[in-house]
């Protein structure tokens, strides 16, 4: 009997030592199942369309509807199918020009001398003559309003010296923006087997272009002027005349691409961006774009789910001085949500899966806050980060907590904290 007691006591002592050692090295993070729900910002949008909000059928090869402010995708059809973009290409051309203007590398007032190559461009054009002089602003207006191939080619040359060098810039910028299914071969959009993009990638570069307010001044102009006011620039985008709030953005058409249109409109503080690729006619691309924009404006409303810095949940970190660590929204989370379904939308805190140990720094990612519909579909999410610095508990405290957890588990205890 005495021998049995000695063995038991020895085993008990060894168990305590082992648990203490484990505590000293413990890095495990446990999600608190009772932590408060919450939410936060930068949208990571989902799905072809939300099941609770049936979308219209779109007669085109591909399409997309995007919240221009956040990038939230409200509708998509074949979003990653590689297609010929025709003059939708000029969105990237104009983006690079405007970025060079912003960086002071060129000015809208700079004079461009048209090259022989620019003067020989076919398709939609403003009939630049070799050695004709025009300002960068006039050439941008011709590109944005009239979709002029010769003007876009001349802009490429003034930025990079040659069109080929400019195309290298286009592809490099596409890669920076995450346009993984895009490859350009020219600055104007004429058909080439290796010249392609997707509805999703077009949405990315279009949102980037909209960050330059001057663009909408041009694209919303029905009849512009160049050559000192002696030459009319007729807009190729009928949407701006036919759809309330429409003020851009770019048309495109070739035999290979079909009729394409990137449209944008603003109503009540919400700007939507639509992409229609490969429609059957000019009327169809305008009609299908109008369907998408109607769907967005009529079926969705902007909703604020949480403010930056608000608590979104907690995680349990045994090695921290304060084991319950508060996670807060990294940014405001404002999304377009289906009208009339606010009561069915919930915000969830999803902790990180990997182990976390103290010390924890303020702003350290702890998970994400996710807005979900009753169907489980995700409307948007953002990082959830540590509200404040949290120091590591001292060795004695960590050891004691480990012992309590060990015996709590050994004897079936639940929910015990130390």
Q: What are phi and psi of 219, to 5 degrees?
A: -70, -20
On whether the CB atoms of residues 56 and 293 are closer than 8 A, the answer is no
On whether the CB atoms of residues 20 and 395 are closer than 8 A, the answer is no
On whether the CB atoms of residues 310 and 369 are closer than 8 A, the answer is no
Q: CA nearest 38: which of 338, 345, 306?
A: 306
Rounded Cα distance between 80 and 44, Å, is 16
pLDDT per residue over 24-68, tens digit each? Answer: 333 333 233 223 222 223 333 333 788 889 888 999 999 999 999
Which residues have a catalytic role annotated? 87, 90, 147
On whether the CB atoms of residues 43 and 72 are closer than 8 A, the answer is yes
The pLDDT assigned to 318 comes to 82
The architecture (CATH level 2) of 62-279 comes to: 3-Layer(aba) Sandwich (3.40)
Its pTM stands at: 0.82
Rounded Cα distance between 170 and 208, Å, is 13
Judge if the upstream peptide bond of residue 359 is cis by omega within 30 degrees of 0: yes
Assign 3-class secondary structure to the chain.
CHHHHHHHHHHHHHHHHHHHHHHHHCCCCEECCCCCCCCCCCCCCCCCECCCCCCCCCCCCEEEEEECCCCCEEEEECCCCCECCHHHHHHHHHHHHHHHHHCCCCCCCCEEECCHHHHCCCCCCCCCCCCCEEEHHHHHHHHHHHCCHHHHHHHHHHHHCCHHHHHHHHHHHHHHCCCCCCECCCCCCCCCCCCEECHHHHHHHHHHHCCCHHHHHHHCCCEEEECCCCEEEECCCCHHHHCCCEEEEEEEEECCCEEEEEEEEEECCEEEEEEEEEECCHHHHHHHHHHHHHHHHHHEEEEEEECCCCEEEEEECCCECCCEEEEEECCCEEEEEECCCHHHCEEEEEECCCCCCCCECCCCEEEEEEEECCCCCEEEEEEEEECCCECECCHHHHHHHHHHHHHHHHCCCCCCCC
The pLDDT assigned to 407 comes to 67
CA separation, residue 386 to residues 324, 365, 382 (Å) = 11, 7, 13
pLDDT per residue over 208-259, tens digit each? Answer: 999 999 999 999 999 999 999 999 999 999 999 999 999 999 999 999 999 9
CATH number corresponding to 27-46+305-407: 2.60.410.10
Q: Terminal CA-to-CA distance of the chain, rounded, Å? A: 35
Q: CA nearest 85: which of 204, 168, 165?
A: 204
Domain residue spans in the chain? 27-46+305-407, 62-279
Q: CA nearest 331: which of 275, 265, 260, 381?
A: 381
CA separation, residue 290 to residues 236, 284, 285, 287 (Å) = 16, 10, 9, 5
The pLDDT assigned to 320 comes to 78
The pLDDT assigned to 52 comes to 85
The pLDDT assigned to 342 comes to 81
Q: CA nearest 403: which of 28, 32, 13?
A: 13
CA separation, residue 170 to residues 24, 175, 389, 403 (Å) = 54, 9, 43, 61
The series of mean pLDDT values per 10 residues for the chain, 418 residues long, is 33 36 34 30 48 90 97 96 98 98 98 98 96 98 98 98 98 98 98 98 98 98 97 98 98 98 97 98 98 97 93 88 90 93 89 87 94 91 93 71 67 50
């Amino acid at each position: 009997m005495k021998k049995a007691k000695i063995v038991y006591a020895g085993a008990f002592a060894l168990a305590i030592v082992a648990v203490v050692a484990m505590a000293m090295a413990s890095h495990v993070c446990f999600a608190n199942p009772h932590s408060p729900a919450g939410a936060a910002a930068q949208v990571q949008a989902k799905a072809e369309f939300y099941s609770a909000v049936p979308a219209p059928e779109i007669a085109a090869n591909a399409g997309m509807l995007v919240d221009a402010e956040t990038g939230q995708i409200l509708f998509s059809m074949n979003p990653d199918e590689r297609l010929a973009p025709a003059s939708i290409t000029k969105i990237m051309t104009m983006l690079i020009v405007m970025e060079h203007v912003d960086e002071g590398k060129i000015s809208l007032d700079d004079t461009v001398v048209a090259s022989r190559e620019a003067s020989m461009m076919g398709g939609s054009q403003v009939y630049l003559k070799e050695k004709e002089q025009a300002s960068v602003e006039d050439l941008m207006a011709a590109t944005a309003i009239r979709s002029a191939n010769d003007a876009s080619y001349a802009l490429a040359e003034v930025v990079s010296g040659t069109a080929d060098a400019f195309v290298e810039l286009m592809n490099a910028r596409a890669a920076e923006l995450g346009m993984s299914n895009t490859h350009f071969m020219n600055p104007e959009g004429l058909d080439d087997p290796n010249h392609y993009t997707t509805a999703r990638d077009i949405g990315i570069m279009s949102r980037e272009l909209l960050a330059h307010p001057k663009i909408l001044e041009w694209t919303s102009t029905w009849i512009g002027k160049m050559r000192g006011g002696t030459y009319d620039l007729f807009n190729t985008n009928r949407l701006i005349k036919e759809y309330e709030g429409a003020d851009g953005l770019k048309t495109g058409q070739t035999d290979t691409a079909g009729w394409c249109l990137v449209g944008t409109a603003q109503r009540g503080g919400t700007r939507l961006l639509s992409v229609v690729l490969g429609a059957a006619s000019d009327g169809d691309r305008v009609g299908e774009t109008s369907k998408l924009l109607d769907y967005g404006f009529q079926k969705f409303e902007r909703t604020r789910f949480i403010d930056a810095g608000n608590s979104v949940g907690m995680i349990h970190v045994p090695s921290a001085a304060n084991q319950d660590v508060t996670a807060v929204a990294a940014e405001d989370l404002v999304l377009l949500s289906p009208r009339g379904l606010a009561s069915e939308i919930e915000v969830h805190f999803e902790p990180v899966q990997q182990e976390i140990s103290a010390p924890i720094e303020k702003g350290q990612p702890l998970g994400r806050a996710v807005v979900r519909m009753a169907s489980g579909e995700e409307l948007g999410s953002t990082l959830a980060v540590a509200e404040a610095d949290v120091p590591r508990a001292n060795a004695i405290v960590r050891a004691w907590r480990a012992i309590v957890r060990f015996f709590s588990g050994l004897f079936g205890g639940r929910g015990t904290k130390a």
